[in-house]
């Protein structure tokens, strides 16, 4: 499971002209799922994201987590994070999990991050054509892959 985490001043997800999620200060979390992902990947990744110290403290040092600042989050499924660009110029998405595997794992990820943060998070709609807007704060953008944790 791969995640791109962006510290944002605000973010939103719009589908068919309707805003379905909107936050102020917090994280926009893009998640790419592969067939081999498990509950263990979800547990590790959600804990890592919730506790990642990428928000400034009173001295301007990145020392606070999303939990510390009581920030908000939006989680968006993005299969293109699993793209392979090794051969040719057209990315291959063969590693991305099929919907029958990815949807339950995505839903588990959302539930688990909500449990870690002790609050509801915004989401996109799996498989929808989404327009994601954000104001990246910093900019701070971090990529985390649960398969590279050891």
What are φ and ψ of residue 116, in 5° steps? -60, -40
Question: What local confidence, expressed as pLDDT, does residue 101 receive?
Answer: 96
Query: Are 102 and 33 a contacting pair, CB within 8 Å?
Result: yes
Average pLDDT of the residues in 1-8: 98
- Overall domain count for the chain: 1
According to DSSP H, which parts of the chain are helical? Answer: 39-51, 66-69, 99-117
Tens digits of residue pLDDT in 34-83: 999 999 999 999 999 999 999 999 999 999 999 999 999 999 999 999 99
Active site residues: 80
Average pLDDT value for the chain:
96
Average pLDDT of the residues in 121-142: 96
Range of the domain at 57: 2-148
Is the pLDDT at 150 greater than 90? The verdict is no
List the CATH number of the domain containing 21.
Answer: 3.50.80.10
Query: Are 82 and 33 a contacting pair, CB within 8 Å?
Result: yes
Query: Are 123 and 21 a contacting pair, CB within 8 Å?
Result: yes
């Amino acid at each position: 499971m791969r995640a791109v985490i962006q510290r944002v001043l605000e973010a939103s997800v719009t589908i068919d002209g309707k805003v379905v999620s909107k936050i102020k200060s917090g994280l926009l979390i893009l998640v790419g799922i592969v067939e081999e992902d498990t509950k263990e990947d979800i547990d590790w990744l959600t804990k890592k994201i919730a506790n990642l110290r990428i928000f400034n403290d009173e001295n301007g040092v990145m020392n606070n987590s999303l939990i510390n600042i009581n920030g908000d989050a939006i989680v968006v499924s993005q299969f293109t994070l699993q793209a392979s660009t090794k051969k040719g110029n057209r990315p291959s998405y063969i590693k991305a999990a099929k919907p029958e595997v990815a949807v339950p794992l995505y839903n588990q990820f959302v539930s688990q991050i909500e449990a870690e943060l002790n609050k509801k998070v915004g989401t996109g709609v799996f498989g929808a054509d989404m327009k994601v807007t954000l104001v990246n704060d910093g900019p701070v953008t971090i990529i985390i892959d649960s398969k590279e944790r050891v």
